[in-house]
Amino acid sequence: MLKNEWKEKGFVDEPIAEGTDLKTEIRRLCKEKDAVILAHYYTVGEIQEVADFIGDSLALAQKAAKTDAKIIVMCGVHFMAETCKILCPEKIVLCPDLNAGCSLADSCKAEDLKKYKEEHPGYKVVSYVNTTADVKALTDIVVTSGNAKKIVDSMPKDEKIIFGPDYNLGSYINSVTGREMLLWNGGCHVHERFSVEGIIRLKKEHPDALVLAHPECKGSVLALADIVGSTAVILKHCIESDKKEFIIATESGILHEIERQCEGKTFYPVPPEMSEDTIGCSCNECNYMKLNSLSKIYNALKYEWPTVDVPEDIRIEAVKPIERMLKLS
Q: Where are the domains of the chain?
A: 4-101+289-310, 104-189, 191-269
Q: What gap in Å lies between CA 288 and CA 267, rounded to an integer? A: 23
| Long-range pairs for 205-211: beta carbons < 8 A, 24 or more residues apart | 206/245, 206/247, 206/268, 208/243, 208/244, 208/245, 209/243, 209/245, 209/246, 209/247, 209/268, 210/237, 210/241, 210/243, 210/245, 210/246, 210/247, 211/246, 211/247, 211/249
Residue 123 · residue 163 · CB < 8 Å: no
DSSP state of 123: P
Please list the alpha-helical segments (H only) found in 178-282.
196-205, 219-222, 231-240, 254-261
102-to-13, 79, 208, 247, 261 alpha-carbon distances in Å = 22, 8, 35, 25, 28
Domains 4-101+289-310 and 104-189 alike in fold: yes
Phi/psi-derived region of residue 141, left when phi > 0, alpha when psi is between -120 and 50, beta in every other case = beta
Tens digit of each residue's pLDDT, the chain (329 residues): 799 999 999 999 999 999 999 999 999 999 999 999 999 999 999 999 999 999 998 899 999 999 999 999 999 999 999 999 999 999 999 999 999 999 999 999 999 999 999 999 999 999 999 999 999 999 999 999 999 999 999 999 999 999 999 999 999 999 999 999 999 999 999 999 999 999 999 999 999 999 999 999 999 999 999 999 999 999 999 999 999 999 999 999 999 999 999 999 999 999 998 754 544 445 689 999 999 999 999 999 999 999 999 999 999 999 999 999 999 98
Please list the alpha-helical segments (H only) found in 34-97.
45-50, 57-66, 78-87
Phi/psi-derived region of residue 247, left when phi > 0, alpha when psi is between -120 and 50, beta in every other case = beta
* Domain range 191-269, CATH class: alpha beta
104-189 has which fold? Rossmann fold (3.40.50)
CATH, domain range 4-101+289-310: 3.40.50.10800
Query: What kind and span of H or E run contains 127?
Result: strand 124-128
Which of 236, 241, 242 lies closest to 258, judged by CA?
Answer: 236
Q: What gap in Å lies between CA 296 and CA 95, rounded to an integer? A: 9
Q: What is the Cβ-side half-sphere exposure of residue 227, based on CA atoms within 13 angstroms?
A: 21
